[in-house]
Chain A
Amino acid sequence: MKKRGDKTLYYGLYFLGFVILLYIILYLLNPNSIYKPLNVSLNIFIQIIPVIIMVIVLMGFSNYFLKPKIILKYLGRESGTKGWILAIVFGIVSHGSIYVWYPFLKDLHKQGMKTSLIAVFLYNRAIKIPLLPIMIFYFGIPFVIVLMIYMILASVIEGKVLENINGGSVEDV
């Protein structure tokens, strides 16, 4: 487990180093060109701080309360329709940037969450209830209703396909 954590840190630092290198190149080309992107990045970071805290709290409580047996029952191989519905609902109600959720999903996966349900969760994150009024404003109610129904169906199709490709096994992610 330590090895996997080290790997995440190792590649993460490489990735961060690459992006910093991009900024350095931009700075060398035009010193003023990086202030705006840095400012935008800072704003994004400030906006996601509450989500990061929420995810850490969720991870903490899930480490404490959710034992592999419970995960397997509700989100694992034996979860059935209940698992699919839970993944859809959790995906829709979850907040914040998608990448903040990856560590939490990795944790749940280690405890037995099915790969198909991870895909369903990630796909349904595209449906954001608080943003629906804005979407309706631009595209109208019929468009939004039809699109949402198709998106939920697509999430299940995507989950099923991924389950078949990965054999539904938790080791294959």
Chain B
Amino acid sequence: MDSRGEKLIDAFYKAILGFSNSLSIILGIILLLGLFKVYVTHDMITSIFTGDLFKDTLLGAILGSILTGNPITSYIIGGELLRDNVSLFAVTSFILSWVTVGLVQLPAEILFLGKRFAITRNLLSFLLSIVISILTVLTLEVVV
């Protein structure tokens, strides 16, 4: 085999080896997600909101940060929350933090990308989910 072929095999060997090191943490996260999806129901989430605009926006961001899964689930829950008269501020911060903050994935992020980076990134994403939710709703009120 020529040296190019050997280099390619070596590159893939390194990739598989690198990924196999990550497999245990990925399996752990998947098992944790299984628990979340079964034991944290839509009704439980909806019942948390109070009607207070500021509190609900903060609660939305906190809930979205804790919960995780496919973004579609957050849209469905968000739609239900809107139908239950939860404010658009709260729903927006909820769907935003759902996709940008990941407490369940945090151990993995810390492990691969470093503690300082992972914690700062998640904190910033949390704060930005509140700021963007306010900006989005205010912009919509002006534009639409």
**Which A residues have a C-beta under 8 Å from some C-beta of B?**
5, 7-9, 11-13, 15-16, 18-20, 22-23, 26, 36-42, 44-45, 48, 52, 55-57, 59-61, 63-64, 98-100, 102-103, 105-107, 109, 115, 118-119, 122-123, 125-126, 128, 131, 134-135, 138-139, 142-143, 146-147, 150-151, 154, 157-158, 161-162, 165-166, 172-173
Contact = CB atoms under 8 A, between A and B. Distances in A.
A173 B72 CA distance: 31
B44 interface: no
B15 A56 contact: yes
A60 B16 CA distance: 8
Contacts of B17: 5
Contact of B14 (A7, A13, A42, A63): A63
Contact of A55 (B14, B19, B75): B19
A60 B117 contact: no
Most buried by B among A125, A128, A150: A150
A99 B26 contact: yes
Contacts of A15: 24-25, 28, 107-108
Given A60-B12, A102-B109, A142-B144, A12 B22 contact: yes
Contacts of A45: 27, 30
Contacts of B21: 5, 8-9, 12, 103
A18 B104 CA distance: 13
22 contacts: A7-B111, A8-B25, A8-B111, A11-B111, A12-B24, A12-B28, A12-B111, A16-B28, A18-B28, A45-B27, A56-B12, A99-B102, A118-B113, A118-B117, A131-B71, A131-B72, A135-B75, A138-B76, A146-B140, A147-B132, A154-B132, A173-B116
A45 B27 CA distance: 8
A95 to B, nearest CB: 12
A147 B38 contact: no
Contacts of B125: 123, 158
Given A64-B7, A102-B108, A151-B132, 18 more contacts: A5-B18, A9-B21, A9-B24, A16-B25, A18-B28, A19-B32, A37-B38, A40-B33, A60-B15, A103-B19, A126-B99, A138-B76, A142-B144, A146-B140, A147-B92, A151-B96, A158-B121, A162-B120
Contacts of A37: 31, 34-35, 37-39
Nearest to A118: B113
A92 to B, nearest CB: 12
Contacts of B108: 15, 99, 102
Nearest to B139: A146
B135 interface: yes
A40 B27 CA distance: 13
